[in-house]
């Protein structure tokens, strides 16, 4: 089976360096918030182009802590999208705030700036644009609207490590930004992990306090906080992988161009790329009306295509009927019926790529005739 993503292949590609990094941590005997985490926080923040990086336990916790650092809680509203991982909305509710949903742009699957202003109310405190699938959201108009209304912008960069918008990395545009290092990400750990980045020293300091019980000094809590720390083993692994991120993203882009070329004469809609932006193809997402049948066909031909995401958050059992804006998301609901993620990762071989393409083309030819 050709997997949709393959963290094991990524580990094997850098096995010697990763094993040495893990051994270095084991030999030091310091496992939480030590030299490796400090080094990775500094190097990742520098890579993004911001002053501060705060390592935390996961991407969801990064969003949760970022919201709290911005002073957002009960009675506040946060605008985001429904076509995203459930973590985006879950973090808003963890902070005690109210999610407000707006529709996506059909070509890019990201928050539609044309729909943002109408969703803003006196209770709106933040907007979370999600850089979905590795494609940057249209940040310029989103930031302009948010600034005009005094609303914070919290970037959800969980799927967009290394993506560029307007000449700067995503994560360097908003008030604060959040990354996930889940193993399948473009920059993935060997377990959970996350990062908050910002140029705002006040937000950075609050985030550091919040991630570890509000401690400014050990065992003394200055504000209520939690336990959400990036451990030394994960930081050491991520330090190794960060050196290869741009090269790996370039391979993803080449694979995407090969898919584009091979599938252009089929009925599939291949990913569109925003002008003045760099798509890093965390996922290669096509869309077609007969999606479920195609997915079944591909599975029978040993191709593991997945759906990101089959049910919009506002239609999931935990959220159905109670999220504001959920009654007017036609593009979101259409995308959920049509999107399919084909295998995409740097270690995907040319042979495997051609097998995926062949399976898609055989399905098209069978139904085209």
Low-confidence winner among 56-60, 99-103, 217-221 (lowest mean pLDDT): 217-221
Give the number of other CB atoms < 10 A from CB of residue 347.
15
Whether this model's pTM surpasses 0.95: yes
Strand partners, 2: 303
DSSP 45: H
Q: What residues make up the domain containing 80?
A: 7-102+110-242
DSSP 137: P
Is pLDDT of 148 > 90?
yes
Q: Read off the tokens for 55.
A: 């390592």
Q: What is the spatial distance between Cα 222 and Cα 105, in angstroms, rounded to a whole number?
A: 43
User: Does the residue 2 lie in any domain?
Assistant: no
Residue 73 is part of a domain; what is its CATH number? 3.40.640.10
Strand order through the sheet with 164-165: 168-169, 164-165, 277-278
Does residue 132 sit in the same domain as residue 91? yes
Dihedral angle over CA of 303, 59, 233, 20, nearest 10: 50
User: Does the residue 212 lie in any domain?
Assistant: yes
Does residue 45 sit in the same domain as residue 169? yes
pLDDT in tens, 71-82: 999 999 999 999
Find how far residue 16's CA is from the centre of its chain: 28
Is pLDDT of 366 > 90?
no
| pLDDT level of residue 217 (50, 70, 90 thresholds) | confident
Examine the fold and report which residue of 221, 242, 263 is the final residue of a domain before the chain moves on.
242
CB-hemisphere CA count at 13 Å for 138? Answer: 20
Within the chain, residue ranges assigned H as helices are: 7-13, 15-28, 35-48, 59-69, 87-94, 116-119, 139-149, 201-211, 232-242, 245-263, 291-300, 330-338, 350-368
Q: How many domains does the chain have?
A: 2
Angle (nearest 5°) at CA 17 between 14 and 18:
75
Does residue 209 sit in the same domain as residue 254? no
Query: Are the CB atoms for 176 and 52 separated by under 8 Å?
Result: no
Task: Quickly list DSSP for 56-108.
Answer: ES-HHHHHHHHHHHTT--TT-EEEEESSS-THHHHHHHHTT-EEEEEPBPTTT
Does residue 86 sit in the same domain as residue 159? yes
| pLDDT level of residue 160 (50, 70, 90 thresholds) | very high
Does residue 59 sit in the same domain as residue 181? yes
Examine the fold and report which residue of 218, 242, 266 is the final residue of a domain before the chain moves on.
242
Q: Parallel, antiparallel, or unpaired for β 52-56 and 194-198? A: antiparallel
Q: Read off the tokens for 146.
A: 């948010």
Does residue 185 sit in the same domain as residue 141? yes
Does residue 86 sit in the same domain as residue 207? yes
What number is the average pLDDT over the span 136-151?
Answer: 98
Q: What is the spatial distance between Cα 342 and Cα 3, in angstroms, rounded to a whole number?
A: 9
Query: Are the CB atoms for 36 and 23 separated by under 8 Å?
Result: no
Residue 300 is part of a domain; what is its CATH number? 3.90.1150.10
Residue 283, sorted as left (phi over 0), alpha (psi -120 to 50) or beta, turns out to be beta
Does residue 231 sit in the same domain as residue 332? no
Strand order through the sheet with 176-180: 52-56, 194-198, 176-180, 152-156, 124-127, 77-81, 98-102
pLDDT in tens, 307-340: 999 999 999 999 999 999 999 999 999 999 999 9
Strand partners, 54: 196
Is pLDDT of 267 > 80?
yes
Residue 84, sorted as left (phi over 0), alpha (psi -120 to 50) or beta, turns out to be beta
- CA 42 → CA 37, 39, 181, 299, distances in Å? 9, 5, 16, 42
Q: What is the spatial distance between Cα 359 and Cα 367, in angstroms, rounded to a whole number?
A: 13
Does residue 185 sit in the same domain as residue 98? yes
User: Does the residue 340 lie in any domain?
Assistant: yes
Query: Are the CB atoms for 230 and 93 separated by under 8 Å?
Result: no
User: Does the residue 1 lie in any domain?
Assistant: no
Is pLDDT of 369 > 70?
no
Does residue 189 sit in the same domain as residue 320? no
Q: What is the spatial distance between Cα 224 and Cα 7, in angstroms, rounded to a whole number?
A: 36
Examine the fold and report which residue of 176, 209, 242 is the final residue of a domain before the chain moves on.
242
Residue 59 CB partners (closer than 8 Å, separation 6+): 87, 158, 178, 179, 180, 181, 182, 194
The per-residue pLDDT for 36 is: 98
User: Does the residue 185 lie in any domain?
Assistant: yes
């Amino acid at each position: 089976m050709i997997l949709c993503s393959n963290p094991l292949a990524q580990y094997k590609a850098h096995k010697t360096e990763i094993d040495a990094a893990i051994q270095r941590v084991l030999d030091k005997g310091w496992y939480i918030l030590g030299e490796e985490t400090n080094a990775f926080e500094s190097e990742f923040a520098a890579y993004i182009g911001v002053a501060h990086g705060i390592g935390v336990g996961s991407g969801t916790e990064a969003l949760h802590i970022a919201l709290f650092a911005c002073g957002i809680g009960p009675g506040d509203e946060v605008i985001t999208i429904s076509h995203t991982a459930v973590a985006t909305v879950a973090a808003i509710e963890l902070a005690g705030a109210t999610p407000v949903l707006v529709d996506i742009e059909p070509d890019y699957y990201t928050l539609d700036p044309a729909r943002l202003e109408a969703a803003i109310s006196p209770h709106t405190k933040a907007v979370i644009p999600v850089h979905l699938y590795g494609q940057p959201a249209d940040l310029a108009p989103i930031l302009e609207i948010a600034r005009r209304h005094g609303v914070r912008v919290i970037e959800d960069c969980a799927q967009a490590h290394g993506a560029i918008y307007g000449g700067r990395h995503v994560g360097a545009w908003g008030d604060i930004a959040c990354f996930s290092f889940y193993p399948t990400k473009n920059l993935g750990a060997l377990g959970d992990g996350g990062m908050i980045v910002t140029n705002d020293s006040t937000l950075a300091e609050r985030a550091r306090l919040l991630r570890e019980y509000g401690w400014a000094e050990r065992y003394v809590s200055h504000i209520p906080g939690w336990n959400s720390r990036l451990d030394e083993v994960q930081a050491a692994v991520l330090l190794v992988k960060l050196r290869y991120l741009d090269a790996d993203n370039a391979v993803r882009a080449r694979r995407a161009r090969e898919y584009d070329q091979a599938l252009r004469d089929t009925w599939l809609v291949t990913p569109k790329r925003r002008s003045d932006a760099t798509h890093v193809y965390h996922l290669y997402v096509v869309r077609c009306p007969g999606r479920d049948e195609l997915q079944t066909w591909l599975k029978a031909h040993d191709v593991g295509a997945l759906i990101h995401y089959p049910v919009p958050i506002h239609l999931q059992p935990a959220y159905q009927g109670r999220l504001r804006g959920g009654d007017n998301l036609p593009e979101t609901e259409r995308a959920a019926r049509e999107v399919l993620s084909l295998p995409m990762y740097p270690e995907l071989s040319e042979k495997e790529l051609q097998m995926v393409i062949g399976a898609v083309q055989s399905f098209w030819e069978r139904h085209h005739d």
